[in-house]
Structures are given as structure tokens and as C-alpha cells.
Amino acid sequence: MTNAQTSNERADRLAALPIREELHGQEPYGAPQLTVRAMLNVNETTHEVPADVVEAITKQVHAAASQMNRYPDREFTELRRKLADFLSRDLPGGDLSAENIWAANGSNEVMQHLLQAFAGPGRSVMAFPPTYSMYPLYARGTYSDYIAGTRNADYTQSADDVADQIRRSRPHVVILTSPNNPTGTALELDVVRAAYEAAAESNTLLIVDEAYGEFRQPGVPSAVELLEGRPLLVVTRTMSKAFAMAGGRLGYLAAAPEVTDALRLVRLPYHLSVYTQAAASAALDHAESLMANVEKIKVQRDRIMEELRAMGLDPSPSDANFVLFGGLTDEKAAWKHLLADEVLIRDVGIPGHLRVTAGTEEETTLFLDSLRTFVGR
């Protein structure tokens, strides 16, 4: 029996199950998982975790193992305090406290908690494609309607346009993404302010997803600066990217304390294990060491943009750890050519475009050399 036949039989058996009607025919979120020399398709930090961080995490996880007969701290109080201290670095004045922080198993679960509390049946969620492909899945998983807004042709967003779309649609939750995935574009704070004012008119929650916030270009602000006095504003972050903890699964947010109180109504009991809390806490203790890798990644990101332009391609300006680039006549052929050279990047479904994660200097060189060969054929 061929793989295709097996796959078709599994699909038939799935279709026969009494699953929710709207799930029939849907595809799960995913990206190719292949072992090649340069895996640059899912925006992980490809640099090795610094030895001092590995040692600290190992020590704290080992200590946590002696406590696994007991439930973990349900309020993860110490972890919230450390996350607040880290985020406060983005504030020109004043500090966040543990009361402003929530965390979960990756920013995916953070978003799920937010939509469980503020969206749901009979409610709607608005985002602005092309953007993170999980947003409509979050909406579907919480029985929420999904509203797709629009962007400018260069993927940017203007304050007046975003505010106008929010006022016309009157969703219950709005998601802005800065830097945006897959385009890499960041938002000016005037866009967030205008979006918040429009959202507040209909008592709408505004989420700014800053999963790649630590990779911003110099001088690009964070929406964390706008939290004070805005009880309907939420800023989400993750430790998967800048903290090299994609396998650790820790996402978090900053918001008014009453927002975190709302999330306690929907979270599962003891949702953060002792091991997750220990690993994240140890990583935060070594933030400076990990941020040094962030600076190295930013160098490679900027190198990618410069060299792609020299090839005659069209990279979008990026404030993230990846680069979306266009100008390809056949992006699928380019993707296959790169994979044949053991370089895996992402086809994000935009004609003529591909997205590449900024990796180590060696991985970046492999990518650029292979693509240069393809473009020069």
C-alpha cells in the first residue's frame, strides 16, 4: 500500500468521526520538519544555547524534580516577577509588576486564554493578513468568527486605516502584530494608539503580538510603553525566539491586573509545570547572555537584506529574526533548489516570495550562496 493510499484511508476514517462540523476538511498548522544543514524555516534561534544558560537551567530543573510530587505554584509568582523586570527594560519610566504579567505554555496558549476569555461563540476576532497563520485557528478553536482586515501594498499599516477598519467591523478582539510575521514589519506607536481609541469605543480588547519584539531595529518602540491607563491593551511576548526556548514553551503577556484576573477564569489548573517554571526562571537570570545571541542574529538579518538586494531581489524591511523577500519568478522552484542544497526555508504562500530565518553566520552563508546560484542560472 502506498503512502498516498494510507493517507487517504486515514482521512476517510477521520471524516467518519463525530468531530465538529467546521473541522471537516481543515488542515492542521504545521511546517516541514526535515533535518538539513541549515534549518531556517520556523524562526527558531539556531545559535547554541550558551553553556552558562544550559548549566543554570539544568541545575534549576534538577532541583524542581525533587518537588514533582507536589503541584507547581499555581500563580508562578517568582516567574511573573522576573518577566515583569525583564519587560520593564522597554519602559522609559515606571515599572511593571507581577500583577501585570500572565504566562502559559507558549504564546499560543496565551492567545488561547485571551480568546477563551474575551471572544467565543457569537463574538469575533480581527487580524490583518498576511500575518501569523495561527490567528484564524485560534478563532476557530474558540468558536469565534474571524475577520480578515487589510494592509497596504507594502504590508505596512496606517493609523487612520486601522482605526477605520476597527470601527466598521466592531470586533470583540483585535490582534496587531509587531513585528509582523511573515513580513517583518513593525508598527509605530501612533498606529497602536489609534487602534486602541477605535477599539475602546466598542469595549474591544486590543492585543499587540510582539513575539519578535527583542529583534526590533534601534529606536523602534514597544507597545509596552502604552500600557499605563489603557485597560483594554494587551502586549504578548514569547521566550521561544530571543531566549532560545522554542522547546521550553513559555509565552507571556503584560496587561492591566484585571485582564490577568479574567484569564484565571479560563486557564486549566496548574498549567505551568515545575520544569517549565524552573527553565524559564533560569533563562531570565541569564538574559544578558541570551541577548548577546540576539545581536548576532540581527547582524545576519541585516546581512541577508543587503545581499538579497545585491541579487536584484526585494526583501521587506525587517524588525524580526527573519526576512521576507520577493522578486522570485518561481518561488517553489527556488525553495526546492535551496532544499537540494540542504537549506530549508519557508514558503508562506505569497506569490513570488519566500521567508528565511536569520541563522548563524555559516547557515546564512549557505543560504545566500545557494540562492545566488539559483538567481544566476
- CATH (domain of 281): 3.40.640.10
pLDDT mean across residues, the chain: 94
Domain boundary among 231, 266, 285: 285
pLDDT of residue 20: 85
Whether the per-residue pLDDT at 1 is higher than 60: the answer is: no
Rounded to the nearest 10 degrees, how much is the dihedral formed by the CA atoms of 95, 191, 181, 324?
-120
- Count CA atoms closer than 13 A to 70's CA, side-chain side: 6
Per-residue pLDDT tens for 6-47?
778 888 898 889 988 888 888 787 677 788 999 999 999 999
CATH number for the domain spanning 357: value is 3.90.1150.10
Which of 246, 270, 285 corresponds to the end of one domain?
Answer: 285
Confidence of residue 376 (pLDDT cuts 50, 70, 90): confident
Q: How far is CA 116 from the centre of its chain?
A: 19
pLDDT (tens digit per residue) in 167-187: 999 999 999 999 999 999 999
| Backbone CA torsion sign across 95, 98, 99, 100 | positive
**Model confidence pLDDT, tens digit, residues 210-219:** 999 999 999 9
Q: By residue range, what is the domain housing residue 63? A: 53-285
The answer to whether 250 touches 105, Cβ cutoff 8 Å, is yes
- Same domain for 271 and 300? no
Q: Are residues 71 and 204 in the same domain?
A: yes
Same domain for 232 and 89: yes
Q: Which of 247, 266, 285 represents a domain boundary (last residue)?
A: 285
Contact 298, 323 (CB under 8 A): no
What phi, psi does 252 have (nearest 5°)? -155, 170
Cα dihedral sign, 268-269-272-275: negative
- 91 contact partners, CB below 8 Å, separation of at least 6: 224, 225
For residue 200, give every residue at least 6 positions away whose Cβ sits within 8 Å of its Cβ, in sequence order, or none: 232
Examine residue 139 and state whether it is found in any structural domain, yes or no. yes
Average pLDDT over residues 118-147: 97
Query: Of 370, 356, 283, nearest to 320 (Cα)?
Result: 356
Q: Give residue-wise pLDDT tens across range 74-94.
A: 999 999 999 999 999 878 766
Q: What percent of the chain has pLDDT over 90?
A: 88
Are both 295 and 244 inside the same structural domain? no
Is residue 11 a part of any domain in this protein? Answer: no
Tell me the whole-structure pTM to 2 decimals: 0.93
Predicted confidence at residue 8, as pLDDT, reads 80
CA pair distance 354, 329, nearest whole angstrom: 11
Give the total number of structural domains in the chain: 2
Quick: pLDDT tens for 307-328: 999 999 999 999 999 999 999 9
Q: Which helix (H) or strand (E) holds 60?
A: helix 51-65
Looking at the structure, tell me whether residues 68 and 45 fall in a common domain: no
Say if 1 falls within a structural domain.
no
Q: How far is CA 188 from the centre of its chain?
A: 18
Write down the pLDDT at residue 223.
96
- 213 and 326 part of one domain: no
